[in-house]
Structure 1
Amino acid sequence: MKINYVAYLDPFHFNGGGEMIMNDLLSHAKNTGYEVSMTSIRPFQKNYHKDADLTILCDIFNEPTLSKKFDLSFIENIVVNDKYIHFDNSYVDTCDLAYLPCNGNSQEKCEHKSLFNLKSNIQRKTISTKCYQSNELIHKIYRNSIANIFLSPLHYTKVSQMLNIQGRPHFILRPTVDTEKFNNKNQERDIEYIFAGAISEAKGVEKLKEYFKGTDKKLVMIGKNIYGEELSFAEYTGFIPYEEMPKYFNRAKNFIYLPRWPEPQGRVVVEAALCGCNLITNENVGATSFDFDISNKENLSGAVEEFWEYVCTKMKEN
């Protein structure tokens, strides 16, 4: 099978959560014998083959504030003429603001845009205050695909409600975390609370402040602090290599994550659960919206193979 992969970021060059998932899926495809051609903005490469059996569009507007973007005519030509699936790792193809500030409660006029927000308007290269979903191409991308792929039931619910695509074929990918690396060592735990990820407003700093207010509890925080304020209850580790994360999770009793935005999945939540952490979360965590226990590795087994079986079935139907 010949596959075109079109995304803003090449998942073999970047290692964000979404890119790690796509790396898992595309590596399996290559190992199966599929021919995968990459087209991306970062790094720039265009290897699009018109004779491919399938195109995967994934997070094509991933960095809406950066100057380099896909030519919209290129994307529209795929959407109109080619057989493709659309893959969401976030909400970047439905919103041109970071971390979905409306939490999916979109309106025709975006309350988070302003004619007077000069910095944002320069970054977006527009003074429009309309919701990004007013762009008809966004709706075409989701309507014309043979299937839309999401990372959790919560993720699907949010996007389908925003775009009114509840009737469209879709697939919810189970977490693809390596359970050989992330597992419970059943050892003594010396960290009471731990958090890992970008330390930011969207990732729940305000909720963490509320949780730890008036207590003497300490929270070990792993990740880059982009919040702009040091938290009195936090013990910052700085950068920790990904390979070391299972060790930290196996030292922690509780993994706490209380995001403001509807986290599409939260791969780190699954990793912590597999390592035996008790999860302290809220309703905005995609990973905990599945109807199975994410700490049980058997429930994650075969996720990658299941995805490709679904894709092959949809291709035969279309």
Structure 2
Amino acid sequence: MLNIAFLHDVEMDYIGGAELSNKKIIDKAISLGYSVIYDDLTDFEYTKKQLSNCDVAIVNNIVSCDYEFELISHLIKHDIPYVKWEHDYGLCEKRSVYCYVDSKVKNCCNTNRFHHYRNLFVNSKLNVFQSPMHYGYHKRLYGEAVKNHIVLPPPINVEDLSVSEDKQKDHVLFLGDIKFIKGGYELLDYAEAHPEKQITVYGKNRLRREPSKNVSFKDKTNNAEILKVLGKTEYFFFKPRWPEPSGRVAAEAFLSGAKLISNDRVGTFSYDFYPNHLEQGKQLMQNAPNYFWEQVCEALHKTVTTPKFKHALIYKSYGGLGDQFIAIPAVNKLQAVSEQVTVALPNNLINVFKTNTKGLNLIPISTVETIDMSQFDKVINLGNYPKSRRFRNIGVINYETHHRLRQHALKHYIDAIATMHPEADNSYSGFPYFKSDTNTKQPYFTVHPGAGFKPKWWPTERYVELIEVLLKKFPSFQCTVILGPNDPDPEHFKHIDKVTIETGNLDEVAICLSGATFHIGNDSGITHFAGVYNVPSVAFHGLTGPGSWSTLAENREVVWGKPGHCSITCKYDIAIACEHRICLHSISVNRAVSAVYKLLQKSMKSTKNTRIKYIFNPEVLIHKTDQGFTLKMKDKELLLEFKEAAEQLEFEDLVQNDLFEDQIKEANLKPLITALVNEDLIFGIPFKV
């Protein structure tokens, strides 16, 4: 006998389409002699207790559960056998995957939710979907993570069907409230276009639109009555806006012989029994409860393992230098589920990767078109993210998370790899990717003022001014300016004392970056190169936003000049033609200096050989008054008044000269300075003694 914990986030006496199906499945379990505990998920401690005593948990809808994600983590962490029976699209913030039917819907999913559900599906003994269409959407998003699955037709009381030969002519039935997502507007349009039809709605009008006179409303009723009405109805209307996972009522209408006014977004109609094999459909629906429990029992008694790829090839047929580095975490995920991985790279990166990676077979990208592909059981053209229309390379994989999840490009790459193997880890494991050089005797920072795409350049003269400010403020540092053949002219920087210029190949640039204390650059390949060594970085962004393209470093400051200055979406042709580039020109040197100070405050560690120096944010406008100072920065304005002359004098000394922490003698100044540090008006930076 099975002890079953049935988890569903709705009270048992509530009756909807999902609940009718649940009841049939539960009744069948009881008839088989199984013990079923129904949990409507209102008390986590109660749920955990039931899970500890069950043989299997049926995880139904859980999105309305207050501890939804904690529940998913608990199931996986404690290795509790469970079956995920999905009624909607729990992975989606709106539970509708409406983005697949309306291209205007973008960035609609909660990233945390999306990844929790991937883990929920991949660790399930069995995944149950409502229809082939329903499964298809999950397959597109999660790939092999939902491989262990069945599709279950709605378990309908076939014996309760009441099919009348005398149909009510020109009568149209609509079941449920008239809502946008359920095709309410389509129904009202149809009613206006067909005044000869009499339309009965079992529900309420939830739209701000008056229906035509041929639409009448009745209160919702029980399923037995609905089946009687369906048996007499000539037409059944159901044109949902969203991809309806099943459409139980549509299935009941189909079995009742009603003529269907519908569309291609109804899951039930994606079965091969529709529309010409009614008896086959009836038999499948009648047998659904038996089939469900047969499959559950079979899944509990078998172990499903997916072998590793024997030899995988991964390469990027297009993309810049930075894209190669951004893809490294995804390559690592592929390596974990493969016996051998070959990575095809540009020639100038092979030595860099050979020095900093283990177990990868590295080949030149130029050889991909000539090698024997039969030696690989998995070939991945990772292309670029997002998939670009400007490049028509064959075999570039799709990124189903694009336009759906707000996340860094490297995570889109990881999610793409995770669709290919159920044991591929879709989590982000962090920093660094390459090992940095921690034995540098002379501290220095690196600056790269160029980028492969010139519209990404912050003005070169501002880089010069920024370097001069930093070297004056931090006299113990030196600066290395990295310049490629298409970057700004080295003559801009040669006059600056304590600046060296690195113009070597990527092997030499790698040595330079790996030992840097911090890095400053545009959104460019070199900035991402610094990021793989986890070098704290300040990156200037203009047309390419930091949400997808920020530096890979753990400690980073992003300076994005576009918000508040430009609202144009920068496609390639627009970026090339843009003359003002306000998105970068709006970034002042003071703003850049402020970002560096903030970066050093959080990335440089205090030790017994350092002293904290307090430095005012250069963006703060400071005005002295009779009794104190006014401080202004952006939307912040503070008036500071001092009762004691000594306090005011010491604060003035801080304004003019910067002070070390142990130079602050006035006790009342210390909490004030702490408050100003918390507001980013002052930075506390460790300096070596």
1:291–1:284 Cα change, 3 Å: same
1:7 maps to: 8
Question: Is there any run of 5+ residues in structure 2 with no aligned partner, and where?
Answer: 304-689
Is 1:150 the equivalent of 2:145? no
Is 1:55 the equivalent of 2:34? no
Is 1:282 the equivalent of 2:271? no
Q: Distance in 1 between matches of 2:102 and 2:198?
A: 34
Q: Secondary structure of the equivalent of 1:300?
A: helix
After TM superposition, the structure 1 = structure 2 runs for residues 180-259 of structure 1, keeping only pairs within 5 Å, are 180-216=159-195, 217-232=197-212, 233-259=214-240
Q: Distance in 1 between matches of 2:204 and 2:151?
A: 29
Kept in 1: contact 2:191–2:215 (CA 8 A): no
Q: What is the CA-CA distance between 1:291 and the residue it aligns to?
A: 0.5
1:122 maps to: none
2:288 maps to: 303
Is 1:111 the equivalent of 2:106? yes
2:87 maps to: 89
Q: What is the CA-CA distance between 1:37 and the residue it aligns to?
A: 2.2
1:229-274, Cα deviation, whole Å (9 max, x unpaired): 3311422223334332123212211111111001111111111122
Tell me which moved more, 182-191 or 166-175. Answer: 182-191
1:118 maps to: none
**Structure 1 letter corresponding to 2:302:** E
- Of the three residues 249, 255, 270, the one matched with 2:251 is 270
TM-score w.r.t. the length of structure 1 is 0.82
**Structure 1 letter corresponding to 2:288:** A
Q: Distance in 2 between matches of 1:247 and 1:90?
A: 27
Q: Secondary structure of the equivalent of 1:180?
A: helix
TM-score w.r.t. the length of structure 2 is 0.40
Task: Identify the structure with the greater helix proportion.
Answer: 2
- Of the three residues 49, 57, 73, the one matched with 1:76 is 73
Kept in 2: contact 1:152–1:264 (CA 8 A): yes
Kept in 1: contact 2:28–2:289 (CA 8 A): yes
2:20 maps to: 20
Q: Distance in 1 between matches of 2:117 and 2:283?
A: 36
Q: What is the CA-CA distance between 1:160 and the residue it aligns to?
A: 2.0
Q: What is the CA-CA distance between 1:73 and the residue it aligns to?
A: 2.9
> Which structure has the bigger radius of gyration?
2
Kept in 2: contact 1:183–1:276 (CA 8 A): no
Q: Distance in 2 between matches of 1:135 and 1:167?
A: 13
1:277–1:77 Cα change, 3 Å: same
Q: What is the CA-CA distance between 1:102 and the residue it aligns to?
A: 1.9
- Of the three residues 262, 283, 301, the one matched with 1:316 is 301
Kept in 1: contact 2:171–2:199 (CA 8 A): yes
After TM superposition, the structure 1 = structure 2 runs for residues 122-137 of structure 1, keeping only pairs within 5 Å, are 131-132=110-111, 135-137=114-116
- Of the three residues 170, 176, 179, the one matched with 2:158 is 179
Q: What is the CA-CA distance between 1:49 and the residue it aligns to?
A: 3.6
Q: Distance in 1 between matches of 2:27 and 2:199?
A: 36
**Structure 2 letter corresponding to 1:262:** P
**Structure 2 letter corresponding to 1:14:** Y
Q: What is the CA-CA distance between 1:105 and the residue it aligns to?
A: 7.4
**Structure 1 letter corresponding to 2:57:** T
Q: Distance in 1 between matches of 2:194 and 2:26?
A: 46
Q: Secondary structure of the equivalent of 1:48?
A: helix
Q: Distance in 2 between matches of 1:242 and 1:299?
A: 19
Kept in 1: contact 2:236–2:258 (CA 8 A): yes
Q: What is the CA-CA distance between 1:206 and the residue it aligns to?
A: 2.4
1:119 maps to: none
**Structure 2 letter corresponding to 1:25:** I
CA RMSD, aligned part only?
2.6
Q: Distance in 1 between matches of 2:103 and 2:300?
A: 32
1:227–1:79 Cα change, 3 Å: farther
1:128-182, Cα deviation, whole Å (9 max, x unpaired): xx53466432211011111110011111111221233466210100221101112
**Structure 1 letter corresponding to 2:300:** M
Q: Secondary structure of the equivalent of 1:302?
A: helix
Q: Secondary structure of the equivalent of 1:15?
A: coil
1:35-71, Cα deviation, whole Å (9 max, x unpaired): 122332369963514242211111111x3xxxx6126
Q: Secondary structure of the equivalent of 2:168?
A: coil
Kept in 1: contact 2:163–2:228 (CA 8 A): no
**Matched pairs, number:** 293
Q: What is the CA-CA distance between 1:290 and the residue it aligns to?
A: 0.7
2:32 maps to: 32
1:34–1:214 Cα change, 3 Å: closer
1:69-101, Cα deviation, whole Å (9 max, x unpaired): 12633331212321111110111x212225443
Q: Distance in 1 between matches of 2:102 and 2:209?
A: 28
Q: Distance in 2 between matches of 1:2 and 1:248?
A: 38
Q: Secondary structure of the equivalent of 2:173?
A: strand
